[in-house]
Homo-oligomer: A and B are copies of this chain.
Amino acid sequence: MLDLVRTRGPISRVELAGLTGLTQAAISHAVRALLDEGLIRESGAKEWTGGKPRVMLTIDPAARCGVGVQLGEDWLVVVVTDARGDVVARTRVRGARDDAPPDVVAAVAHHVRTLLRVAGLPPERVVGVGLAVPGTLDLDAGAVLGSGTLGRWHGFPVRDALAEAVGLPVVLDNDATAAAIGEYWGGAGAGTAAHCTLYMGAGIGAGVVVGGAVLRGASGNTGPLGLMRLRRDAAGAGPVLEELAAPRAVVARARAAVAAGATTSARLSATGDPYADFGALATAAVQGDALALALVEESAEHVADAAVTLANLLDLDSLVLAGPSFSTAGSLYAQVVERRLDAEFQAAERHGVAVALSRHLADAAAVGAAALVLAEELGTLPRGARR
């Protein structure tokens, strides 16, 4: 019921009865309870049908809010979202690679407190903190395990450390899975049967929600798509997807081309910062720089290879591209993925695959992490989202 008000509102009691098949009396009772809890409100907007005014119901966006934190090699993002999942406050600072984990946790806690104060949100409305982290996790212990990009965090009990630092309950999840839950709960994947969010930060991951349930695997560590083994050469060696498609690979190729005499309008950093350099190349590609465009398109073809594999393997009807590395040239990637799916999706006789760019892009994992705690509070969490 709450989910219908959230996703279809403003909506009348009559429409709710029609959608749920419940009696008007049952609807009135349920609506009363939600109004009393302060989760929904009667909106000023009325719908007139045949001269009879209908009071419309909407979710009260200010009734609850959630905090989402996205820990990455390159960027640390903190967002506060309202009960609809819309971002009301956000901050972004450089990533977690080089600092000691306890220092990063203290900084995150500081950002959370500051954002809540600035947004004027009283603590009792904050339902908790969702924390999205790349790589392998121990979701039982709330700890980070192996991760190429966050090696210093191995074994660090990040969930409990953050909970203690902010004084709020914390839910830990993989960044791609959090983003997928966010897209399914309130984004481009809403209501689809088989959704995947393909997430590209420093690495590449996939989060999947099928039949209303999050795909979890044996330990909640689904999704390291970037480690997909690709064709080996005669000597038995072969790259994984990330080594061909991720920002670092694109930047390395650009630097090699420039060293070999190629020219580009992209201004590559003196320090070799891969994140800044990838941003510069993506910007140049969108502006039509030939070298940058060729390299980004090459990366997009590799991402599309993975997208086609995923769509076929999982029989997807929804694929969203999200994550910091799609923030500048995401539309270019989406075009290539769409074109390739048009040609290569196997079950096309049965249904299509809707391709979309996340509207949260660089913040998608943080927004998804906030959705994780909000959706649980509101009773609208996809199955399997909390293990």
- Residues on A lying within 8 angstroms of B by beta carbon are 136, 138, 145-146, 192-194, 206, 210-211, 213, 215-225, 227-232, 236, 238-239, 244, 301-302, 304-306, 308-309, 312-317, 344, 346-347, 349-351, 384
Contacts and interface: CB of A to CB of B under 8 A. Distances in A.
A354 to B, nearest CB: 10
Contact of A349 (B138, B194, B223, B231): B138
B301 A224 contact: no
Contacts of A350: 136, 138, 145, 218-219, 221
Number of copies: 2
Contact of A229 (B192, B227, B309): B309
Contacts of A306: 229
Contacts of A218: 192-194, 315-317, 347, 350-351
B315 A232 contact: no
- Say what secondary structure dominates the interface of chain A: loop
Contacts of A136: 346-347, 349-350
A304 B244 CA distance: 20
B313 A222 contact: yes
A232 B192 CA distance: 31
A239 B233 CA distance: 13
Nearest to A147: B346
Nearest to A308: B229
A146 B228 CA distance: 26
A274 to B, nearest CB: 22
